Amino acid sequence: MNPLKSVGGTIIGGVVLAALIVFFMPGEHIVGVQAKSLVIWLHVLSGVTWIGLLYYFNFVQVPALGEAAADEGGPGGAGIAKYVAPRALWWFRWGALATWITGATFLHLQGQLHHAFTFGLMGDNPNPYANMIGVGAWLGTIMLFNVWVLIWPNQKKVLGMVEATPEQVAKAKNIAFMASRSNTLMSIPMLMSMIGPGHGWIM
């Protein structure tokens, strides 16, 4: 059976390939592999899933559905709303949660969790790493809140997964849209704040 014919098989194949690359690379790096190395890898994988889908929704799906709605006699967006959006939202919301959990776990393993969420201001000395990564951590936390509290419950109304009146659907569309656009806006400084401290930028 070809593993590329299923999503699960593709993911497992990718993990196996990554493990083989690590195993066969020359040097003593395997001895030095720590839990935080695996956690940050999972954090990046989860983050790519989350933010990738966030950008898909904002840059592709929403504009395309708008054009479909305006296209009289066209195919409409029923197929996307019924089959694509629910599946994309599943990966989106769980990717968001996995990203936050793995990020918080990494900061904990680094001994920086408390410092990050207090912007490095609670210690005896200034902590520029915690200050900058803390900005990213807080932005990510706000974005996670938006996903689970604003976007997902309202998208269920929009997609007909829960009963709602036309007025409730209209309101839900606006709330989900604005929360999603807010997350897109915040994702830009969030990514800068998360990546910068580990690469000597803005420190």
DSSP 34-61: -HHHHHHHHHHHHHHHHHHHHHHIIIII
Q: What is the share, in percent, of the chain residues with pLDDT greater than 70?
A: 95
Q: pLDDT at residue 203 above 50?
A: no
Cβ pair 101, 113 in contact under 8 A: no
Cβ pair 53, 92 in contact under 8 A: yes
Q: Grade residue 29 by pLDDT with cuts at 50, 70 and 90.
A: low
Q: Grade residue 1 by pLDDT with cuts at 50, 70 and 90.
A: confident
Cβ pair 60, 25 in contact under 8 A: no
Distance between first and last Cα of the chain: 50
Map tokens 């839990």 to a residue.
35
Residues with Cβ within 8 Å of residue 182, at least 6 apart in sequence: 146
Residue type, 185: L
Q: pLDDT at residue 42 above 80?
A: yes
Chain-centroid distance of CA 97 in Å reads 8
Note the pLDDT tens digit of each residue in 52-70.
999 999 999 999 999 988 8
The residue ranking higher by pLDDT, 36 or 184, is 184
Domain range summary for the chain, segments of one domain joined by +: 1-33, 34-199
Q: Which residues of 15-33 are buried (b: 16+ CB within 10 A; e: fewer)?
A: eeeeeeeeeeeeeeeeeee
H/E stretch holding 151 reads none
Q: pLDDT at residue 138 above 90?
A: yes
How many other β-carbons are positioned within 10 Å of the β-carbon of residue 6? 12
Mean pLDDT along residues 143-153 = 98
d(CA 169, CA 163): 9
pLDDT score at 35: 82
Q: Grade residue 12 by pLDDT with cuts at 50, 70 and 90.
A: very high
How many other β-carbons are positioned within 10 Å of the β-carbon of residue 123? 11
Average predicted confidence (pLDDT) for the chain: 91
Q: pLDDT at residue 93 above 50?
A: yes
Total number of residues shown for the chain:
203
